[in-house]
Amino acid sequence: MAKGNDLQAWFIEYQDLDRSDGQAVIMPEGFERLCGALEFDMDGIEPMALLWRLNAAELGKVEFAGWESGMRAMNVHDTAELKQAIRSTIDDFGRNAALFKSFYRKMFDYLRADKQKSVAAEDAVAVLPIVTGNGWVFEKFVKFLEANGDRIKTVSRDQWQSLLELSKTLKPDLSNYSSEDAWPAMFDELVEWLKKPETA
């Protein structure tokens, strides 16, 4: 069992010490160093999984309370164990739908800017491939956003969450999609766009 002051000491290695408000946080710069220590590619999924496991509320910012409870939950004491834990979490995403869903949903909050309710379409385009790997629905959705970037500027929470469901149920020939179902209106557009011969 990791002792409290071990976790604390570990935290302090990356903590932002210039803060005037005295809050114990790891800021993006420190987080990047941590990822370096873990040999995580900053453009990959690992940093985000890490943030999620450490209960971060914002991208690149970890508070001590979250750090502590996260480390304990993972039963991790050092860098090697942490690296392993995160790797296996990522593996689990493929097997455990509920787990991935929770992570995926949190990603939305990481992507959106502080005051905004929605995520910028270009951010979604950048991050979705990383997070969702090679799910074909996500791929198509990203292409759709790119093609319609002049009109569609944001992705709402409902659209984001519904996208995961869509990826689980939509057939490649689009035959089981109906605009009379409860999908968000944007998906009606998506399917129409996918049906176009020039899109295929």
Partner 1 sequence: MSDADRIWSELSVGVDSILNRSEEGFEKALYVRLYTLMQRSGVYNFCTSLKSSLPGGTYYTPADASSTVHGSMYGRQLYTRLNDHVSQYMIQVAEKSREFSGDDLLSFYNREWIKYGDAAKTIHHIFDYLNRHWIQREQDEGNNVCDINTLMFRLWRNNFFMDVRNSLLESVFSLMKRIRDGQVADLNLVKSVVDSFVSLGSDDMASGSKKMEVYDSYFLKPFIEGSRQYYEAECERVLKEGSIRNYMIWVFDRLKEEDDRAEMYLHESSLREFGDALNKVLIGKQRASLISEFKPMLQAREKDDLARLYELLKRLGETAGLEPLRDTFRSFVEDAGLEAVKKVCGEQEAAEGNANKSRLFVQALLSVHELYSSILHDSFKDDPGLSKALDHACQKFINENEMCAGKDNNAARLLANYCDTLLRKGNATARAAGEAGASSEDNLEKQLTQAICVYRYLKEQDVFQVAYGRFFARRLVNEQSVSSHGEEMMISLLKEVSGMDFTSRLSRMFSDITVSKEMSERFKETMRDKRGDDFEFDMKVLNTGSWPLKAPETKLKLPAELDRAVDQYLEFYSKSHSGRRFNWLWQYSKAEIKMFFPKATGPAAKTGYLFQVSTYQLAIMMLFNAESGPGTGYDSEDGPTLTFGQILTATELDKDTALGELEVLCKARVFNTSDGNKATDTAQYTLNSGYKSKRMRMNLAGLRKPDAKKDAKDIQKSVDQDRSMSIQAAIVRIMKARKQLVHRELVQATIEIIKLFHPQISDIKQAISKLIDNGFLARDEDNRDVYNYLA
Residue 74, CB-side half-sphere exposure with 13 Å CA sphere: 27
Verify binding: residue 181, partner 1, rule CB under 8 A: yes
Pick between residue 15 and residue 118 the one whose CB is nearest to partner 1. Answer: 118
Pick between residue 63 and residue 165 the one whose CB is nearest to partner 1. Answer: 165
Residue choice 1, 17, 98, 185 for contact with partner 1 (CB under 8 A): 185
Residue choice 182, 197, 198, 200 for contact with partner 1 (CB under 8 A): 182
The length of the chain in residues reads: 200
Residue-wise DSSP of 67-82 = HHHHHHHHT--SHHHH
Task: Report how far apart the first and last C-alpha atoms of the chain are (Å, whole number).
Answer: 54
Applying CB under 8 A, the site for partner 1 has a residue count of: 18
- Provide the mask over 117-146, with x wherever binding to partner 1 is found by CB under 8 A and - wherever it is not: xx----------------------------
| Nearest distance from C-beta of residue 183 to partner 1, angstroms | 8
CA separation for the pair 124, 147 (Å, rounded)? 13
- Residue 116 pairs in a beta bridge with none
CA separation for the pair 83, 50 (Å, rounded)? 9
Residues 160-179 that bind partner 1 (CB under 8 A): 161-162, 165, 179
In 78-146, the DSSP E strands lie at 119-120
Positions touching partner 1 (CB under 8 A) are 117-118, 156-159, 161-162, 165, 179-186, 188
